[in-house]
Amino acid sequence: MDKKEIGFSGDRPSGKMHIGHYIGSLRNRVVLQDSCKMFVMMADVQALTDNFETPQKVHDSVFEVMCDYLAIGIDPRKTTIFIQSMVPALPELTLYYMNLVTVARALRNPTVKTEIKQKGLEESVSVGFLSYPINQAADITAFKTTIVPVGEDQLPMIEQTNEIVRAFNRIYQKEVLVEAKGVVPTVGKRLVGIDGQAKMSKSLNNAIFLSDASDEVAKKVKSMYTDPNHLRVQDPGKIEGNVVFEYLDAFGADKQKVQELKDHYQRGGLGDMVVKKYLLEVLEEFLTPIRERRKLYEQDRAQVMAGLVESTHEARAIADTTLQEVKEAMHLIY
């Protein structure tokens, strides 16, 4: 990939990161930081759209998420990590972009519609929640982003961002903003939760977190949804919709062994607990070094937060430059 590419990604800090986040976008960020300039945002303003009554939760989560970032290998020397609320150009850009999006278009965004349903917000959705894709467009365009590592479920957000870019450049007859493309990981979407019912989420209590202790991971793997009709070891089992095999596809490095387990399970003679035991070994191999690195960062909160604030100042300067260009195009410089 051309090193002139600029990447952007972000998370709403409302708790620690889980392994579904890693598959969905975190892994891509670690890879991309070696080939392009990456910006990663702590979207604390967006987090308030459904945590407005618990701001302390969002505040505390910024440090937790930062520890997760550092533990998985996001390098502050290569990636600019910043706090959304400390970059005032972003809400100002959002305000201008709102004029380019109709209410009907905002309601039509499939990602927003899905989250409204999942969170049960049908009758109480706020204007802030409904407009966060516009806010996200401001975040992305502020840095002239060209690539955005996302899960498949977030692609509609990139589409709406590019609609705003095209509308702005057309109306003001100047190529100020840049279109971005979504980079989808191999798995294509965030992992389903351990219950097999929905994507992994803290609010649904179906997630394995990057910071989970070994005994907690073991407990969660043991409870994973498999094939409900696989009642006896000798019976053939289904791998479709089987959470254990989905996780092995995502984390199992030995693809040949994973395929052998699938074949054995489908023809019968392989128990769920045997497969779960292997998955636990795979997850522990993945999580142990992350867990150990995270503990080191947890012990030095002051230094971790100081580095984040310093990096935020860099992001603020770049976003201010884009805002100036936007205001010039809109004849708002006096």
Domain spans of the chain, in order of start? 6-191+301-329, 214-295
Q: Is the pLDDT of residue 188 over 60?
A: no
Position 253 scores a pLDDT of: 93
**How many whole angstroms separate alpha carbon 238 and alpha carbon 163?**
42
Q: Is the pLDDT of residue 185 over 70?
A: no
pLDDT digits (tens, 9 = 90+) for 265-306: 999 999 999 999 999 999 999 999 999 999 999 999 999 999
Position 100 scores a pLDDT of: 95
pLDDT digits (tens, 9 = 90+) for 4-20: 799 999 999 988 999 98
Position 1 scores a pLDDT of: 45
Spell 301-327 as b/e; 16+ CB within 10 A means b.
eeebeeebeebbeebbebbeebbeebb
Span 214-295 CATH architecture = Orthogonal Bundle (1.10)
pLDDT digits (tens, 9 = 90+) for 57-86: 999 999 999 999 999 999 999 999 999 999
Tell whether domain 6-191+301-329 is in CATH 3.30.70.260: no
**How many whole angstroms separate alpha carbon 18 and alpha carbon 228?**
25
Mean pLDDT within 167-185: 93
**How many whole angstroms separate alpha carbon 23 and alpha carbon 85?**
27
pLDDT digits (tens, 9 = 90+) for 106-154: 888 887 777 777 777 767 777 877 888 899 999 999 999 999 988 777 8
pTM for the model stands at 0.87
Q: Is the pLDDT of residue 213 over 60?
A: yes
At 148 the three-state DSSP class reads strand
Are domains 6-191+301-329 and 214-295 of this chain identical in fold? no
